[in-house]
Structure 1
Amino acid sequence: MSETTSKYKAPALERGLDILELLSEQDEAISKKDMVAKLGRSVNELYRMLAILEARGYITTEPESGKYRLTLKMFELSNKFPPMQRLLNAAGTEMAKLSEKTQQSCHLSVLHDAEMVVIAVQDSPYKMGFCIRLSARIDVHGSGSGFAMLAFQPEDQRRAILEASETPEPVIESVLSQMDKVRQKGYFIGASPQISGVTNISYPIFNSNRQVEAVLTMPFLTLNSDSLHHQVVSFEESRLAVADAADNLIHAIGGCTPE
């Protein structure tokens, strides 16, 4: 859990947020004893907060073990935010069509706390493909999504975002030197720094204020048509398909591309 840097203190609220953040990081439900140990707080500090969070539907206890886990309430609340809801509603259909057409996976991500966070994914319908998990956090300085997001920020904001992500200064300078080229093209294409054979195709999704709301990325996986014995959609065809899907998403949320 991250420590608050605010000059204002609300101990009860902080305890509640600590619990929610802890549970969000767990693959399985955890006991009150484990929660006390991980948070470094006493049972008395957590008891009342656990009861309130459960009564409000944010957490629940497993009947047999009595261990705690998150419910889907926070996910439901986040999806009530109108701009994001419109984008997610449109993305479901567009991303499914895109993957069906190209036989490639794709994902949608947004900038949050100086990282790109994946908010929607569509796996390839083919038996092989590359995919990324929902809610994954991606380095803004080392991803197609991050480059497409940064390129359309004001220059001072680009550096501020990279510094907030604790990117080393030499890397910051390297990234910033590429931004104008990406902005001029209107999208990013580049080899994945993590996975050999994968080329990221990333297109920004602009809102009505001509700001980047999200980024649509296809981690294009190079397939061998000779060994697969069927038609493989080319890289350029796939890029154009991503461009069309991005345009459709911009239109769906009433967005406008920069002049």
Structure 2
Amino acid sequence: MMKTTKKKTSYQAPALEKGLDILEYLSAQPKPRTQLEIAQALGRNPSELYRMLACLEERGYIAKGESGNGYRMTLRLFDLGHRQHTATTLRKAAHIAMEGLAEEIGQACHLTFQHGTSLIVMMERMPARKVCLSIGEGSVFPISQTASGKVLLSRLPEEIAFQTLEDDPEYARLSKAAGKRICDDISEARKNGFLAQESQLTEGTTDIAVPIGIDGSGTSAVLAISYLSIGPQADRLRQTYLKAALLCAEEINRNLGVIR
């Protein structure tokens, strides 16, 4: 039986909850599931799911498998989710959270996304009455040369990430050793779920990059902080800023409806 943790609310909508349970279950299945299998997984009687399955199939959210035995998810939900412009969705979800982050740490923070072999700064938020490093909205960087780019590559399937690197002119110019260091950074980001390192582009600067959104979709982006890190408190600041960035990323993900 599938175990789910549900947040209790003041209002109950049994039919809606039943439909969502079905969709959430099928979304995690590698092959079609029969009415009986779905009922057993959800801890329900097969007969009480009949009308719900028929409704979901009629509306195009699920479909019969190729053999006609069992149900699978369609791309209907994916299509609905992409009817809003993804950049607008990201900006709305991140705006307030990033303003809070900038004020909390006294540093600028920015949101970046991938475009081919480039990294583009979609949005930046600055703290009030502070002197800090600004990247600038609309700035473009080679994807292999930044912590944000490496984090984005770490969220891709390995073969796609490798091909993206191969297509990057900046990466092609590197020595074999330098190229390996970038691949090692990507592996580290894939393992840890973030990357914090000295900038390859600006001396005396540290970059912290944390992924947000849904991997492989238009809502996949990176929240980043770039700051001057010269001085005896460099290690303490890195830990403080990283913790704040991770919490901010969680807030943005909640605003996007992403559950990790």
User: TM class, shorter-chain normalised?
Assistant: 0.5 to 0.7
Cα distance between partner residues in 1 of 2:165 and 2:215: 25
Q: Deviations over 1:125-158 (max 9, x none)?
A: 3431101111111111110111111111111111
Larger radius of gyration: 2
Cα distance between partner residues in 1 of 2:215 and 2:167: 26
Cα distance between partner residues in 1 of 2:216 and 2:167: 24
Shift of 1:209: 6.7
CA contact (8 A) 1:144 1:188 kept: yes
Shift of 1:173: 3.4
CA RMSD of aligned residues (A): 2.5
Say which of 90, 93, 111 aligns to 2:93. Answer: 90
Shift of 1:160: 1.1
Aligned to 1:25: none
Say which of 230, 244, 247 aligns to 1:244. Answer: 247
Does residue 102 of structure 2 align to residue 99 of structure 1? yes
Aligned length: 172
Cα distance between partner residues in 1 of 2:153 and 2:219: 9
The runs of at least 4 consecutive aligned structure 1 residues that moved more than 4 Å come to 208-212, 223-226
Say which of 99, 122, 128 aligns to 1:125. Answer: 128
**Identical residues among aligned pairs (%):** 21
Does residue 201 of structure 2 align to residue 194 of structure 1? yes
Partner SS for 1:100: helix
Shift of 1:211: 8.5
Cα distance between partner residues in 1 of 2:162 and 2:232: 42
**Equivalent residues in 2 for 1:1-259 (5 A)?**
81-166=84-169, 167-168=171-172, 170=176, 171-207=178-214, 213-222=220-229, 234-257=237-260
Shift of 1:206: 2.6
Cα distance between partner residues in 2 of 1:184 and 1:128: 34
TM-score (norm 1): 0.60
TM-score (norm 2): 0.60
Cα distance between partner residues in 2 of 1:223 and 1:127: 17
User: Structure 2: which 5+ runs fail to align?
Assistant: 1-82
Aligned to 2:36: none
CA contact (8 A) 1:144 1:201 kept: yes
